[in-house]
Amino acid sequence: MLLTLTLFWHASPTISYAVENPSKREAIVDLRILETTDLHAHLVNYDYYQSKVDNRVGLVKTATLIQQAKNEVKNSLLFDNGDHLKGNPLGEFLARIKGIQKGKIHPVYRAFNYLKYDVIAIGNHELNYGLHFINTALKGARMPVVNANVYQVKEDKPYFKPYVILKRTVVDLQGKQHVLNIGVIGFMPPQIMKWDKANLEGKVVAKPIVATAKKYVPIMKAKGADIIIALAHTGISSEPYNPEMENAGYYLTQIPGIDAILTGHSHGIFPGPIFARLPHTDLMNGQINGKPVVMAGSFGNSLGVIDLVLEENAGKWKVIKGTSQTRPVADENGNPLVKTDKALYRLIQNEHQETVDFIKKLGL
């Protein structure tokens, strides 16, 4: 995995846009897209290695940002971009020691259900415990789960659901309601066949991200998608294009029909200064090649926010403006900027405490 510095970059929050001559258009809709990514089982603001509270991380903190961001707008969607099951002692304890009990919901998906995620993507680390584990865990998820570029070997068809088209009622600037068909598609690095060869060989194969996107975008449009959002569990790099590249987020912005790209995997912050030299990039508005892109760090340290302005003409919708920003849960010194979501904490408290007790029992 490409390692990047996690830096915080702030853009002024944009809730609504002034539109010239709105009376000439049939409808204008503001739509907010929210992203968490690379949580790596950091549900709680806690450092298991040092046995202490850590207010720089944790979905119990990000959850407060999510609610705040939703309350600012009329129309919003919430997505997770993958790598949410593995990455800290809690994830390891649940997978390797406790396991998933029949009828029980993995606390990550219990948290996602509580927060009412609209769609989640599968990241490469979801496969680290084997296909049986992820298939069992996903039975507890109450939202669609997407990935388009991992295929079954025997039948040459997607292993997971490649995309969904959400029907959502949205409210325009005049207060009128409209039904919007929102296509959502997921991707992960094809390198999973090397990283998890023992778990995956002979069962699935990973296809190139960009080629898969080019295949499915026209299909999604033909199925009625008004806009398309990519949940791309991949980093951002302008290195020369290679079909098998691990970090393909930059090249997804060049595909006609994709309107917004949620990236991840490399644990960076976009928009942010580490991407200052990226070609055709507007850090002020959070755009690459004119498309809004976001990457919300890792471990729940940030919430990604994309604000789209949609215009309807003759029954067709198009994005006329899109900007992105990230919102951190703590300042640069680790001081909390938001309170803990206490209700969410109570939902996952038992597994958190079991993990703490298990670590103590091991004398770590």
Please, how many CA atoms are within 13 Å of residue 328, restricted to the half-sphere of its CB? 22
Residue range 310-333, pLDDT digits in tens: 999 998 999 999 999 999 999 999
As a whole number of Å, the end-to-end CA separation of the chain is 28
Q: Is residue 11 part of a domain?
A: no
Residue range 131-153, pLDDT digits in tens: 999 999 999 999 999 999 999 99
Examine the pLDDT at 34 and tell me if it is beyond 90: yes
Mean pLDDT (whole number) for 222-232: 98
CATH number of the domain within which 48 lies: 3.60.21.10
Q: Is residue 321 part of a domain?
A: yes
Examine the pLDDT at 292 and tell me if it is beyond 80: yes
Task: Quote the mean pLDDT of the chain.
Answer: 93
Q: Is residue 20 part of a domain?
A: no
- Specify whether the backbone of 83 is left (phi greater than 0), alpha (psi in -120 to 50) or beta: left
Contact 171, 29 (CB under 8 A): yes
Question: What is the C-alpha to C-alpha distance for residues 259 and 261, in angstroms, rounded to an integer?
Answer: 7
Least confident of 93-102, 220-229, 234-243: 93-102
Q: How many domains does the chain have?
A: 1
What crossing angle do the helices spanning 107-115 and 342-362 adopt, rounded to 10°? 170
Sign of the dihedral through C-alpha 4, 10, 14, 19: negative
pLDDT for res 8: 33
Phi first, then psi, for residue 255 (nearest 5°) are: -90, 120
Q: If 0-12 CB within 10 Å is exposed, 13-18 middle and 19+ buried, where does residue 97 land? A: exposed
Amino acid, single-letter form, for residue 127 = L
- Count the residues in the chain: 364
pLDDT for res 9: 37
For 76, the domain range is 26-362
Residue range 249-267, pLDDT digits in tens: 999 999 999 999 999 999 9
Nearest to 79 by CA among 7, 189, 179, 164: 164
pLDDT over 90, % of the chain? 89
pLDDT for res 103: 80
Question: What is the C-alpha to C-alpha distance for residues 74 and 15, in angstroms, rounded to an integer?
Answer: 9
Q: Is residue 292 part of a domain?
A: yes
* Token pair recorded at residue 116: 């009412």
Examine the pLDDT at 18 and tell me if it is beyond 60: no
Question: What is the C-alpha to C-alpha distance for residues 323 and 98, in angstroms, rounded to an integer?
Answer: 43
* Token pair recorded at residue 281: 């990039």
Which residue in the block uniquely carries the two structure tokens 């199925």?
A: 223
Give the pLDDT band of residue 6 (cuts 50, 70, 90).
Answer: very low
Neighbour tally for 154: CB within 10 Å:
9
Phi first, then psi, for residue 311 (nearest 5°) are: -120, 135
Q: Is residue 3 part of a domain?
A: no
pLDDT for res 152: 97
pLDDT for res 22: 47
pLDDT for res 3: 35
pLDDT for res 205: 97
Give the pLDDT band of residue 364 (cuts 50, 70, 90).
Answer: low
Cis peptide bond N-terminal to 271, omega within 30: yes
Q: Is residue 15 part of a domain?
A: no
Mean pLDDT (whole number) for 27-53: 97
Examine the pLDDT at 11 and tell me if it is beyond 60: no
The three-state (H, E, C) secondary structure of the chain, written as one string: CCCCCCCCCCCCCCCCCCCCCHHHCCEEEEEEEEEECCCCCCCCCEECCCCEECCCCCHHHHHHHHHHHHHCCCCEEEEECCCCCCCCHHHHHHHHHHCCCCCCCCHHHHHHHHHCCCEEECCHHHHCCCHHHHHHHHHHCCCCEECCCEEECCCCCECCECEEEEEEEEECCCCCEEEEEEEEEEECCCCHHHHCHHHHCCCEEECCHHHHHHHHHHHHHHCCCCEEEEEECCCCCCCCCCCCCCCCHHHHCCCCCCCEEEECCCCCEECCHHHCCCCCEECCCCEECCEEEEEECCCCCEEEEEEEEEEEECCEEEEEEEEEEEEECECCCCCECCCCCHHHHHHHHHHHHHHHHHHHHHCC
Q: Is residue 10 part of a domain?
A: no
pLDDT over 70, % of the chain? 93
Q: Is residue 18 part of a domain?
A: no
Examine the pLDDT at 85 and tell me if it is beyond 80: yes
